[in-house]
A and B are shown apart, each in its own frame.
Chain A
Amino acid sequence: MAVASTRKVLPGFGLSLGFTLAYLSLVVLVPLSAVFLKTASLTLDAFWQAVAAPRVVASYKLTFGASLLAAAINTVFGLMLAWSLVRYTFPGKRIVDALVDLPFALPTAVAGIALTALYAKNGWLGQYLEPLGIKVAFTPLGVLVALVFIGLPFVVRTVQPVLEDLDTEIEEAAASLGAGRWQTVMRVVLPTLVPALLTGFALAFARAVGEYGSVIFIAGNLPMVSEITPLIIITKLEQYDYAGATAVASVMLVASFVLLLIINGLQSWTDRRAARAS
């Protein structure tokens, strides 16, 4: 195999890298830096006031809390869905498999109004749930539902390939050694899925934290109760409180970067595990 050398054999390095760096800087890096530069112009005191106000802290709790819970729900059900798609035959499977990606392709605003239509007091599902005391629309529960929707494909799509590529030898060996099905699944198969599950969980979590369009229609905007952090940023922007908006945005950005690093780490772990297993 060719060893990395200082002489480039293929052409176009300068052009492609140059263009890449220029485009990346102009579109992504420079504008993103504006947030930090603007925040840096705040005094530490003002910054702290903006990001640690009770209302903002309540929004962190809701945003991160609901995202965690939604990602967890998606992990459990996503695993079941992936399992069904890989291991079972059933009618309509093709369609189910194709539709799993719907939350990627469907605009968030469309999802938002559809979910509100379903869960409002006089909505398709809401009309049955409200008499039972379960209020979904305009409560944190509604936020949770929206976040479950948009995170649905992540776990399914991270677990599916791993399950597909799983060598049946291990299970056959376990069966021939007398292990029951439950034992086999719990102690042989599931552990191999852990990296993929964690990756999917992290992806779903990261997406949910920043979500705006599908949540605002069904959320209540109530400070301290049902206000998500992206909405706080928008509210501050609407009042042209740039300083406050960027301060909160920088907190979210730092959280996003950390998540991104974790996800990249988890993904290489998953890839290495998969390479070893197959």
Chain B
Amino acid sequence: MPLKHLFARLAFSLLTALLPAAALAQTTILNVSYDVSRELYKDINPAFIADWKAKSGETVTVNQSHGGSSKQALSVTAGLDADVVTMNQAPDVDILVERGGYVAADWRKRFPHGATPYTTTTVFLVRKGNPKGIKDWDDLTRAGLQVIVPNPKTSGNGRYTYLAAWGFALQKSKDEAAARDFVTKLFANVPVLDGGGRGATTTFTQRDVGDVLVTFENEALAIGTELGADKFEIVYPSLSIEAAPPVAVVEKVVDKKGSRKIATAYLEFLFSPQGQEIIGKHAFRPRDEKVLQKFPGRFPAIKTFTVEEALGGWADVQAKHFADGAIYDQIIVKR
């Protein structure tokens, strides 16, 4: 766009910024989401809006709020009026059931695949050429290595990393104490604990801190596209955890606002072929097999376990590891 036009647009925008915002005569829904899903919803939302307009003639606005997933979930209980929540781990939705009944207790049954439109997993991102020769979880506990992980207390991304490491160690040694030791060593190598996955990415890629970034696969793949595949490479560990980001409608809010139909349709859109394709484009593993075929070679096969299978389910994990004063709190202080 010619500079002249840009200047004109800027002047106009600033002028209109001084006028009171016009009352919106259309429906607005708020999607409260986690940190590294930002780009996904930037594409999903316009597609959904167009789709909904075509189907019902109604114009809808979708607002987004992003941050560390646990922080976001708790914000909803503190009054952030989300119509839908799109988190990255089940506990963050369960907490909305427990604390105030924001979400229905049977939320898993409301949408296909246990209300998870896609999966992703935890991988390693290293500098090009893999100078430190990082191949698997064991390498992360090497003395002197610097590992970047977001804070498990505020970020689901960080929590999955912790659990993946625990699960790996457990599977290898079959011993709880050894697993705890392993995770302690890993977190002893973490110099910075950012509040969310995106913060960790910035630390690793922009600020050049750390030898390896442990994050969701979609984030690692996106870094390749955004920041140049010539600077980083992805390493898939021998075993990792399957992260199944759940979605749910926030009952209290949609009933108050009368937006249930749109909110439900919005989440259903994520499971539609169009939605699944956008999901695949953003480096998440879509549930839809047919759509998955459209991305050959993009998603390498990787051996994963789920929290339910290997670690006894989320409720147990929460109590054992992430409650106040539980295992994570203990190991982080001892570093």
Residues of A at under 8 Å CB distance from B? 54-55, 116, 120-122, 137-138, 220-224, 235, 238-241
Contact = CB atoms under 8 A, between A and B. Distances in A.
Given A54-B333, A224-B333, A240-B78, A235 B154 contact: yes
25 contacts: A54-B333, A55-B333, A120-B207, A121-B207, A121-B208, A121-B209, A122-B207, A137-B207, A137-B209, A138-B191, A138-B192, A138-B207, A138-B209, A220-B191, A220-B192, A221-B151, A221-B194, A222-B191, A223-B335, A235-B153, A235-B154, A238-B70, A239-B74, A239-B153, A241-B324
Contacts of B154: 235, 238-239
Given A120-B207, A138-B207, A238 B333 contact: no
Nearest to B155: A238
B71 A239 contact: yes
B193 interface: yes
Q: How large is the interface on B (under 10, 10 to 19, 20 to 34, 35 or more residues)?
A: 20 to 34
Interface of B: 68, 70-71, 74, 77-78, 151, 153-154, 190-195, 203, 206-209, 324, 332-333, 335
Contacts of A220: 191-192
A137 B208 CA distance: 10
A116 B74 contact: no
A138 B209 CA distance: 9
B208 A222 contact: no
A47 to B, nearest CB: 15
Contacts of A235: 151, 153-154, 195
A272 B153 CA distance: 52
Contacts of B203: 138
Contacts of B74: 238-240
Given A122-B207, A222-B191, A241-B324, 6 more contacts: A122-B208, A138-B207, A221-B192, A221-B194, A238-B195, A239-B154
B192 A240 contact: no
A240 B99 CA distance: 12
Contacts of B153: 235, 239
Nearest to B151: A221
Contacts of A137: 207, 209
Contacts of B191: 138, 220, 222
Highest count of chain A CB atoms <10 Å: which of B71, B207, B332: B207
A54 B330 CA distance: 12
A116 B209 CA distance: 13
A221 B208 CA distance: 16
Contacts of A120: 206-208
